[in-house]
Amino acid sequence: MTVTVVDYGAGNIRSVLNALAYTGADAVSSAIPETIASADRIVLPGVGAAGSALDVLRDRGLSDALESARTRGTPILGICLGMQLLADELDEFGVHRGLGWIDGRVGPIADHVGPDIRIPHIGWAKIDPVVGDAASFFGRNEKANHFYFCHTNCLQTSAPAVAATVDLTTPVVAAVLKENVFAVQFHPEKSQLNGIRLIEAFLDWQP
């Protein structure tokens, strides 16, 4: 089984590949639509601006490749911007049409949290998993569920897709799960052992 990391110029590719290698996974990066469409498992990472990222995915045929993989049931992991791109709409330096896999909208965290929360939200934070199908991705105690965040925007979505939240004076979506797509707002590749455990859970996942 090969894990394909989508290389579209907006991802922390090397760190993600290193984390996958640490688990013993056979991991490669690719910007070739045919390779991504036929992958065994896919990781969609991302940092940076949503609009330019979506333009690249569409212009290079990568969004169609991802849709093909999703439709045939390929397990997909989205990370940070890679989670936000799954939404219907993203509001960041203009309004952008997302991939539309998760019902909802991405916008500034500041629109939803109290004035005492420093934006961007950067650093370690405890997540609160939602009991359900996503339980296997997370640890069984509080210490195991601390992860590293770095984001200015957040996803607003309906309860059925929410797999975990983070408390920023109000619950903010930290992870979503829908069919064969699991995505997280935090960076497992920067979250040391907790992140490695989550990646291992993704590799074992049979949606």
Q: Is there a catalytic annotation at residue 189?
A: yes
In order along its 207 residues, the chain shows pLDDT tens digits of 899 999 998 878 999 999 999 999 999 999 999 999 999 999 999 888 899 999 999 999 999 999 999 999 999 999 999 999 999 999 988 899 999 999 999 999 988 887 888 899 999 999 999 978 888 999 877 788 999 999 999 999 987 899 999 999 999 999 999 999 999 999 999 999 999 999 999 999 999
Query: What residues pair up with 151 in beta bridges, in sequence order?
Result: 121
Handedness of CA 128, 130, 134, 139 (dihedral sign): positive
**Active site includes 112?**
no
What DSSP string describes 9-45?
SSS-HHHHHHHHHHTT-EEEEE--HHHHHT-SEEEE-
Tell me if 176 is assigned to some domain.
yes
CATH classification at residue 190: 3.40.50.880
Domain containing 149: what range? 2-94+105-204
Catalytic residue among 92, 121, 187, 200: 187
Helices (H), 45-160: 50-59, 62-71, 81-84
Q: List, in sequence order, the alpha helices (H) in 50-185.
A: 50-59, 62-71, 81-84
151 is catalytic: no
What is the residue type of 139?
G
Assessment of whether the complete model's pTM goes beyond 0.85: yes
Active-site residue identified among 92, 151, 154, 189: 189
